[in-house]
Amino acid sequence: MGRTKLAVAAAVAAAGVWTWSCTQAAPPDPESEGAKLFVANCAACHGQDAGGLKAPNLRTGLDTDYVAATVTDGKGEGMPGFAGTLSPEQIHTLAEYIHSIGSAGD
Ligand code: HEC
Protein backbone atom coordinates (compact mmCIF):
# COMPACT_ATOMS: atom_id res chain seq x y z
CA MET A 1 0.00 0.00 0.00
CA GLY A 2 2.59 2.51 1.13
CA ARG A 3 4.65 1.63 -1.87
CA THR A 4 1.91 2.55 -4.35
CA LYS A 5 1.49 5.91 -2.68
CA LEU A 6 5.20 6.52 -2.96
CA ALA A 7 5.21 5.64 -6.66
CA VAL A 8 2.31 8.00 -7.30
CA ALA A 9 4.06 10.75 -5.39
CA ALA A 10 7.22 10.19 -7.42
CA ALA A 11 5.29 10.30 -10.69
CA VAL A 12 3.58 13.52 -9.70
CA ALA A 13 6.89 15.03 -8.67
CA ALA A 14 8.50 13.99 -11.96
CA ALA A 15 5.63 15.49 -13.94
CA GLY A 16 6.00 18.67 -11.95
CA VAL A 17 9.69 18.91 -12.73
CA TRP A 18 9.01 18.21 -16.39
CA THR A 19 6.38 20.94 -16.62
CA TRP A 20 8.64 23.33 -14.81
CA SER A 21 11.61 22.73 -17.11
CA CYS A 22 9.41 23.11 -20.19
CA THR A 23 8.28 26.55 -19.13
CA GLN A 24 11.88 27.68 -18.78
CA ALA A 25 13.18 29.65 -21.73
CA ALA A 26 16.54 27.84 -21.84
CA PRO A 27 17.49 25.77 -24.89
CA PRO A 28 16.51 22.10 -24.56
CA ASP A 29 20.08 20.77 -24.46
CA PRO A 30 22.61 23.45 -23.50
CA GLU A 31 25.45 20.97 -24.07
CA SER A 32 24.65 20.27 -27.72
CA GLU A 33 26.99 21.54 -30.42
CA GLY A 34 24.26 23.74 -31.89
CA ALA A 35 23.51 25.34 -28.53
CA LYS A 36 27.18 26.08 -27.93
CA LEU A 37 27.60 27.62 -31.37
CA PHE A 38 24.50 29.68 -30.78
CA VAL A 39 25.63 31.05 -27.42
CA ALA A 40 29.10 31.83 -28.80
CA ASN A 41 27.99 33.54 -32.03
CA CYS A 42 24.38 34.61 -31.87
CA ALA A 43 23.20 35.08 -28.28
CA ALA A 44 24.59 38.61 -27.96
CA CYS A 45 21.94 39.79 -30.42
CA HIS A 46 19.25 37.11 -30.37
CA GLY A 47 19.35 36.35 -26.61
CA GLN A 48 20.69 33.33 -24.69
CA ASP A 49 17.50 31.38 -25.37
CA ALA A 50 17.05 32.72 -28.94
CA GLY A 51 13.86 34.40 -27.77
CA GLY A 52 14.99 37.79 -29.05
CA LEU A 53 17.03 40.66 -27.62
CA LYS A 54 18.13 43.43 -29.98
CA ALA A 55 17.51 40.97 -32.81
CA PRO A 56 14.27 39.06 -33.45
CA ASN A 57 12.96 35.93 -31.73
CA LEU A 58 14.21 32.83 -33.56
CA ARG A 59 11.97 30.33 -31.79
CA THR A 60 9.35 30.60 -34.46
CA GLY A 61 9.77 27.30 -36.27
CA LEU A 62 12.11 28.73 -38.89
CA ASP A 63 13.00 26.50 -41.81
CA THR A 64 16.47 24.94 -41.59
CA ASP A 65 17.47 26.04 -45.11
CA TYR A 66 16.25 29.57 -44.45
CA VAL A 67 18.28 29.85 -41.27
CA ALA A 68 21.39 28.44 -42.97
CA ALA A 69 21.06 30.92 -45.85
CA THR A 70 20.46 33.85 -43.50
CA VAL A 71 23.42 32.95 -41.31
CA THR A 72 25.69 32.46 -44.31
CA ASP A 73 24.81 35.71 -46.10
CA GLY A 74 23.41 37.90 -43.33
CA LYS A 75 20.18 39.88 -43.48
CA GLY A 76 19.16 43.52 -43.52
CA GLU A 77 21.19 46.09 -41.61
CA GLY A 78 21.89 44.28 -38.38
CA MET A 79 22.42 40.60 -39.17
CA PRO A 80 26.02 39.85 -40.13
CA GLY A 81 26.93 37.05 -42.53
CA PHE A 82 28.96 34.22 -41.01
CA ALA A 83 30.34 32.68 -44.20
CA GLY A 84 33.89 33.66 -43.22
CA THR A 85 33.53 32.83 -39.53
CA LEU A 86 31.73 29.50 -39.40
CA SER A 87 32.15 26.43 -41.57
CA PRO A 88 29.19 25.20 -43.65
CA GLU A 89 28.94 22.25 -41.22
CA GLN A 90 28.74 24.58 -38.23
CA ILE A 91 26.10 26.69 -39.95
CA HIS A 92 24.11 23.57 -40.74
CA THR A 93 24.35 22.42 -37.10
CA LEU A 94 23.16 25.84 -35.96
CA ALA A 95 20.28 25.85 -38.42
CA GLU A 96 19.09 22.45 -37.21
CA TYR A 97 19.36 23.62 -33.62
CA ILE A 98 17.30 26.73 -34.27
CA HIS A 99 14.73 24.76 -36.20
CA SER A 100 14.50 22.26 -33.34
CA ILE A 101 13.92 24.84 -30.61
CA GLY A 102 11.35 26.61 -32.78
CA SER A 103 9.29 23.51 -33.35
CA ALA A 104 9.65 22.03 -29.86
CA GLY A 105 6.41 20.32 -29.01
CA ASP A 106 5.57 19.27 -32.58
C1 HEC B 1 25.19 41.73 -34.44
C2 HEC B 1 23.88 41.19 -34.05
C3 HEC B 1 23.51 39.80 -34.60
C4 HEC B 1 24.21 38.65 -34.49
C5 HEC B 1 25.57 38.41 -33.84
C6 HEC B 1 23.39 37.63 -35.10
N7 HEC B 1 22.23 38.18 -35.57
FE8 HEC B 1 20.74 37.18 -36.52
N9 HEC B 1 19.76 38.94 -36.85
C10 HEC B 1 20.16 40.17 -36.37
C11 HEC B 1 19.20 41.17 -36.79
C12 HEC B 1 19.26 42.65 -36.44
C13 HEC B 1 18.23 40.50 -37.57
C14 HEC B 1 17.01 41.12 -38.29
C15 HEC B 1 17.48 41.46 -39.70
C16 HEC B 1 16.37 42.00 -40.58
O17 HEC B 1 15.29 41.38 -40.62
O18 HEC B 1 16.61 43.02 -41.22
C19 HEC B 1 18.62 39.10 -37.57
C20 HEC B 1 17.91 38.12 -38.23
C21 HEC B 1 18.19 36.77 -38.16
C22 HEC B 1 17.41 35.72 -38.78
C23 HEC B 1 16.12 35.92 -39.59
C24 HEC B 1 14.94 35.84 -38.65
C25 HEC B 1 13.62 35.89 -39.36
O26 HEC B 1 12.60 35.66 -38.68
O27 HEC B 1 13.56 36.14 -40.57
C28 HEC B 1 18.00 34.55 -38.45
C29 HEC B 1 17.54 33.14 -38.86
C30 HEC B 1 19.15 34.84 -37.65
N31 HEC B 1 19.24 36.21 -37.50
C32 HEC B 1 20.01 33.89 -37.13
C33 HEC B 1 21.22 34.20 -36.49
C34 HEC B 1 22.16 33.20 -36.06
C35 HEC B 1 21.98 31.70 -36.18
C36 HEC B 1 23.23 33.88 -35.53
C37 HEC B 1 24.53 33.30 -35.03
C38 HEC B 1 25.32 32.59 -36.02
C39 HEC B 1 22.91 35.29 -35.61
N40 HEC B 1 21.68 35.44 -36.19
C41 HEC B 1 23.74 36.29 -35.15
C42 HEC B 1 21.28 40.42 -35.60
C43 HEC B 1 22.26 39.50 -35.29
Q: What is the pLDDT of residues 24-74, one digit of tens each?
A: 455 457 789 999 999 999 999 999 999 999 999 999 999 999 999 999 999
Q: Is residue 48 within a helix (H) or strand (E), and if so which, with residue range? A: none
User: Sign of the CA dihedral 81, 83, 88, 93?
Assistant: negative
Residue pair 98/58 in contact (Cβ under 8 Å)? The answer is: yes
Q: What is the pLDDT of residues 10-25, one digit of tens each?
A: 555 555 555 544 444 5
**Whole-angstrom Cα distance, residue 85 to residue 35?**
17
Identify the band that residue 105 occupies on the pLDDT scale cut at 50, 70 and 90: very low
- Specify the length of the chain in residues: 106
Residue 102: predicted pLDDT: 87
DSSP 83: T
Provide residues with CB under 6 Å of ligand 1: 41-42, 44-46, 55-56, 58, 62, 67, 70-71, 75-80, 82, 94, 98
Tally of CB atoms within 10 A around 102: 19
Q: For residue 77, is pLDDT > 50?
A: yes
Q: For residue 87, is pLDDT > 90?
A: yes
Identify the band that residue 2 occupies on the pLDDT scale cut at 50, 70 and 90: low
Residue 106: predicted pLDDT: 46
Q: From ligand 1's centre to the CA of 22, what distance in Å?
A: 25
Shortest-distance atom of ligand 1 to CA 75: 15
Mutating to test ligand 1, I would choose from 75, 77, 87, 98 the residue with most ligand atoms within 8 A of its C-beta, which is 75
Residues in a beta bridge with 75: 79
Mutating to test ligand 1, I would choose from 79, 87, 89 the residue with most ligand atoms within 8 A of its C-beta, which is 79
Domains of the chain: 25-102 (1.10.760.10)
Residue 69: predicted pLDDT: 98
**Whole-angstrom Cα distance, residue 8 to residue 23?**
23
Residues in a beta bridge with 79: 75
